[in-house]
Structure 1
Amino acid sequence: MGDPRPIKKPSRIQLRNRRRILDAALDTFSQFGFRGTTLDQIAKAAGLSKPNLIYYFDGKEAIHAALLSELLETWLDPLKELDAGGEPMEEILAYVRRKLRLSQDFPRESRLFATEIIQGAPHIQRVLETDLKTLVDKQARIIQGWMNDGRLAPADPYHLIFSIWSLTQHYADFDTQVRAVLATEDAFPAAEAYLETLFTRLLKV
């Protein structure tokens, strides 16, 4: 028989400390990458001792895995919302806006994802080849269907999705460069207007 004792829920302090560790790790991983980050760095950024940190996570691999798990769920949601029954142009532009909003609201997460990909995706390769590919294949078929029906101008749906990713995530991954060139702290309103114009001109029938 299994253990009849109920699983003890973590206390508020434990949940708070776990969140502190993940937030601190997000800063360090997004700045230094997985290889360049140490447990000492994370513990210092979290304001906790290293033994206290290890109480919550077995090592930096476990922390990194927890962050990537949260990130992937957040990152895939905007593409999942693409509605086959919607108006094609508005669905594409809404997806662009959702992706741009992610870059605005979650810049550290975007840089963490970019760093993981640049390093060869050692921790999420399986997800890229399964969950992500399945989702992109499905939504690319929807976009191709709109194009076949003459509701959007012809374009490769996969490269369309890639271009949306790159053009929206640029504002998070290269935030310092964007702000330096534009001499502004908020490039997103102009970016949204520009990207809507760009994709409308590309896809308008």
Structure 2
Amino acid sequence: MTDFPETRESLIRRVKDTGDRCAWEEFSSMYRPVIYRVAKSRGMQDADAQDLAQQVLLAVSSAIGRWEKQCAETKFRHWLSRITRNAVVKFMTRGPRDVAVGGTGMLDWLEECPDPDSETAQRFDLEYRRQLYLTASDQVRRKIQPQSWQIFQMTVLDGGSIEDAARQTDRTIGSVYAVRSRVMRQLREAVSRLEADQS
């Protein structure tokens, strides 16, 4: 599993300031979708996953003032991942045990998981990486010509052929390759900038 960058310390300091609404919105826009997708991957319905994301963000807002980086190995996202994991486990095990015929398979499933912390942490990292890509792609899409994004979408995201993209956009095959390559480079650079901001 790829090791993802740490949330930048300047953002953490700003989020600790309860009056800095912009910092909280930036933080929430990065992590709410991550927490939501982790919850959905654990079998939660949409409304429950939304509630869980809100609960985790509330827990973070009340505890972030006490969070301190102990050493270079201390990672904020690991702390946030642990809060998310605890919220998921608490959600899945809350309430009285089902006593109807057949019982409940969820508690049995939780007991069979070899290391739920590791699985949730890996899922959290995957979803964080996905969110970095989505943020970078949004930045690039707003910056380039619509037809350039259309070519990238057709040939990379949708898996279409270069020839079809050239025909549909009335461009040469060589120019489609060039556009696609340029957009991929810009995406890599945008992800690198986001990662540098986070480190």
TM-score (norm 2): 0.32
Higher relative contact order (CA 8 A, sep 6+): 2
